[in-house]
Structure 1
């Protein structure tokens, strides 16, 4: 099956981002990424070796074969496919998190010109912010100031303290973070740039890729997949079947 250790799948989660993946008070990995991987592993008859890593450590760890799979709301992009393969299991967009009242009137990426974005290194939001600053400059507008941090909590502090105007995260995480903000934050505009999210695996590991896709298709067919998404109120993120390397961009 192309695993580091037969019978066991080592999965690196960025377990800092509920409800995607986090560690609860008892030390258990929880979240919809965790639940989906657990259901797939159960279907394949595998035990999971859980590993918690920061976002910027996922891809190097997979390339070095320290992990079989990396998960953490990883949007499938052509750039990422240069170093890993991605087995797509969800389709979600991104969202803007701003202070309540949306003082900078952020609704679209074009509204970021001249603003400061706090982001997590390696996150898709960082990519959007850097891409947008090039567009802003090309239009003769001020660029986007991007402040990157290794953990989402650090980026969130920038927003709370007023040192950043906006954060960009996957839409499910954006909604969750706003719910936890005691009314201090809100989601601005609608989710945008809907794209597949994938389980990252070693480039060219066909055996593992096919196994994961088989497991995904099984849990989609038997209803476990739909039940997990409904539990986290993200049913709109469902894919009809497993796929791989289907980048939006």
Structure 2
């Protein structure tokens, strides 16, 4: 009944802020902190997640997390941390949700509950002016390329390097960094010749006039929200469905040029 009422309110007034004194539908035992949705993020991916000049978290995924928390009658709280620590931290109950656009893989879905919500892919950014004329993946042979440690992007880059070696070409010299911001700083300083990130981030740097996005759409794979708790995942899936039904999610994704990956917001993970 509570869900029907909330859905009716949302349908009448799209995007309305739901009352924060409504009872949360998730048992406190399923949360790291009662009454709070604790989410991990690495805010180094503009425009999806970043820190503005005032030190505040901003971006599409931050807005998404805030709205999910609101609709579940919880207070949003963020833990800023490098991606490499996120999956171990989820298992150790340091946070409830990985909200960093983690790429979906079957291997990851065997470890945690995953809801695919955003289409994404890997991209390559070159130095300003693209002085090495990188146009194809073959052009990365023998180049020094930076990437964030431990993510899908690094895995994709290593697969690309292996394919080049199998074709008789030089391997990519891969340099890993704690996060994407540091990787792009290394590109600016000439310490690497390209950076592997995701399409939206590479497009943002390109539009700013910083680094051209020379390759994109590589290894297209949905991004997901990840949770340890199945009951929490079920409630998050419900919230996403309501956000789609009343238009809030479509408006958000349109503003950021993002496509919805799975309109059913089904859960993949251990039972």
Above 0.5 in TM-score? yes
The 5 Å alignment of 1:33-48 reads 33-48=61-76
Residue in structure 2 matching 1:210, options 234, 248, 261: 234
Candidates 166, 189, 192, aligned match of 2:215: 189
CA contact (8 A) 1:124 1:169 kept: no
Counting only pairs closer than 5 Å after superposition, residues 133-212 of structure 1 correspond to structure 2 as 133-180=161-208, 183-202=209-228, 205-212=229-236
* Number of aligned positions between the proteins: 241
SS of alignment partner, residue 185 of structure 1? coil
Tell me if the contact between 1:107 and 1:190 (Cα under 8 Å) persists in the aligned partners: no
TM-aligned CA deviation for residue 28 of structure 1: 2.8
Kept after mapping to 2: 8 A contact 1:198/1:244 = no
Using the size of structure 2 for normalisation, the TM-score is 0.81
- 1:109 equivalenced with 2:137 (yes/no): yes
1:242 — aligned with what? 265
Change (3 A) 1:192 1:26: same
| 2:14 matched residue in structure 1 | none
Secondary structure of 2:119's counterpart equals strand
| Mapped pair 1:223 → 2:247 | yes
Task: Verify the 8 A CA contact 2:39 2:99 in the aligned structure 1.
Answer: yes
- Secondary structure of 1:22 counterpart: strand
Counterpart in the other structure of 1:50: 78
Alignment of 1:64-83 (within 5 A): 64-83=92-111
CA positional deviation for 1:209: 1.3
How far apart are the structure 1 equivalents of 2:267 and 2:138? Answer: 30
**Could you tell which deviates more after superposition, 141-150 or 74-83?**
74-83
Question: Quick check: 2:122–2:217 contact (8 Å CA) kept in 1?
Answer: yes
1:161 Cα deviation from its structure 2 partner:
2.6
Output the aligned Cα RMSD: 2.0
2:113–2:230: 8 Å Cα contact kept in structure 1?
Answer: no
Greater alpha carbon shift after TM alignment, 38-47 vs 73-82: 73-82
CA–CA separation in structure 2 for the residues paired with 1:153 and 1:176: 13
Q: TM-score, normalised by structure 1?
A: 0.88
Alpha-carbon distance, 1:239 to partner: 4.0
Uncovered stretches (5+) of structure 2, i.e. residues with no partner? 1-25
Q: C-alpha distance in 2, partners of 1:92/1:163?
A: 27
User: Could you say what secondary structure the match of 2:192 adopts?
Assistant: coil
Displacement of 1:95 after TM fit?
1.6
Q: CA deviation at 1:81?
A: 2.8
CA–CA separation in structure 1 for the residues paired with 2:185 and 2:54 = 26
